[in-house]
Amino acid sequence: MLPPIDALLDALHVVHLPLATRFRGVEHREAALVRGPEGWGEWSPFLEYEPDEASTWLAAAIEDAWMPRPPALRDRIPVNATLPAVAPASVAGVLARYDGCRTVKVKVAERGQTLADDVARVREVRTLLPDARIRVDANGGWNVDEAETAIRALERLDLEYAEQPCATVPELAELRSRVHRMGVPIAADESVRKASDPLAVVAAGAADVLVVKAQPLGGVRRALAIVAEAGLPAVVSSALDTSVGLSQGAALAAALPELPYDCGLGTGALLEQDVAGPLLPVDGSIPVGRVEVDEHRLAWHAASAERTAWWRRRLEASYAVLAEQA
C-alpha cells in the first residue's frame, strides 16, 4: 500500500553530490531521499526520465523505507570496480579508489570515442591488474556489426562478459549467436530494467547473464521474482546511487540464492561526497545492512530551492502513476 503523498513530500530531501570522475556525461548526481518507518529510501531516477519510468524507481524507494528487507543469506557482497571511459593515463587513479576489488567493469562505446580508445583502456586495466576479471559495458552503444568487431578485439584481453553491447533484444540475440564460439557471455542490463517485459530477453535467448538493479525494477522483491523466473545467473548493480541506494542493492544481492559474479555495487567510489557512510569497497566487498544518513551532510549537500521544487513536482507526478496502478 502507498503511504500518503503528504508523508512522502514531508520526508523528501534532495541532494546534489559531486562526482570524483565524470560519469555518464555528468559531474554531479542529484538524488532524492525519504525516511520511512523502516529507515531511509532512495529515489534517484535519472533526470531525463518521465513519470512513468520514474514511478518504478519511486516504488522501490517506498518499499525500502516502509517495508522490512527480505532475509539476508550473506553479510558481505563482493563488488567490482567501475571504470568510466577515461584515458589510459587516468586508469590507475580511478582504480585506486576501489580497495581490493578483483573485478573491473570498463565503460566502452562512449560517444565521441573509438574502438581503439576502448581497447587501450581495457589493455591498461589488464596491464595493471593481470589477474583481474574484466567485463565491458557498452550501454547499448554498438550495432551488431560494431559489437562483433569490438568483442573480437577485446576478447584477446580475456573478458568475463560483455554487458548490453547492443540496444535491442533482437540485436542481442543475433550478436550472441555470432560470438558464441568466442566464449564471451552476453549480459543484459537496459533490456531488463527499461523493458516493459524484463523477461523478453530470456525468451529470445539473447543473454547469458542478467544485470538487475533494485531501483529501476521497482524494488528488491520484484527484482528477486524476475531473477527467479528468468533462471539465469544475475549480477546486482547500481544506478550511480548514494550509499542509501547501494545498501538496497546489497540487500537484493544478499537475498539471492546464488551470487556467482561480483556485483556492481562499489560505485560509491565514484562519488566525491556522499550522504552516509560512505558505503565503499573494503577488501573487495561491501557490508549488508541499512545505512544511516548524516544530517550534517544532508544539509551541506542539499539541492537548491528551485531544484527541490522540481523534484517535489516530479514526485507528485510519479506518485499519481503509482496511485493509478494500485
Q: What is the pLDDT of residues 224-268, one digit of tens each?
A: 999 999 999 999 999 899 999 999 999 999 999 999 999 999 999
Query: Across residues 81-96, what is the average pLDDT?
Result: 97
| DSSP β-bridge partners for residue 293 | 276
pLDDT at 256: 98
Judge whether 137 is annotated as a binding position: yes
Quick count: other Cβ atoms within 10 Å of Cβ 116?
9
The pLDDT assigned to 5 comes to 98
Domains and CATH numbers, the chain: 5-70+295-325 (3.30.390.10), 76-287 (3.20.20.120)
Which one from 213, 297, 301, 314 is the annotated catalytic residue?
A: 213
Is 172's pLDDT higher than 90? yes
Q: 153, 119 in Cβ contact below 8 A?
A: yes
The whole-number pLDDT of residue 37 equals 97
The answer, yes or no, to whether residue 277 has pLDDT greater than 90, is no
Q: Which residues of 237-292 form beta strands (DSSP E)?
A: 285-287
Q: What does the pLDDT look like over 12-45, one tens digit per residue?
A: 999 999 999 888 778 999 999 999 999 999 999 9
Asked if 298 and 275 count as a contact pair (C-beta separation under 8 A), the reply is yes
Task: Clarify whether 213 is annotated catalytic.
Answer: yes
pTM above 0.75, yes or no: yes
Q: How distant is the alpha carbon of residue 21 from its chain centre?
A: 16
Which pLDDT score is estimated for 196?
87
Distances (CA, A) of 244 to 2, 193, 268, 269: 20, 19, 10, 14
The verdict on whether residue 124 carries a ligand-binding annotation is: no
Beta-ladder partners of 310: none
Mean pLDDT on 188-209 = 95
List the beta bridge partners of residue 18: 28
Active site residue 194: no
Could you read off the pLDDT of 42-53 as tens digits, one per residue?
A: 999 999 999 999
Task: Output the nine-digit C-alpha cell for 278.
Answer: 560512505
Q: What is the pLDDT of residues 289-323, one digit of tens each?
A: 999 999 999 999 999 999 999 999 999 999 999 99
Residue 161 has pLDDT above 80, yes or no: yes
For the chain, what is the mean pLDDT? 96
Annotated binding residue at 189? yes
Confidence of residue 65 (pLDDT cuts 50, 70, 90): very high
Confidence band for 206, pLDDT divided at 50, 70 and 90 = very high
Which one of the listed residues 29, 69, 105, 107 is annotated catalytic?
Answer: 107
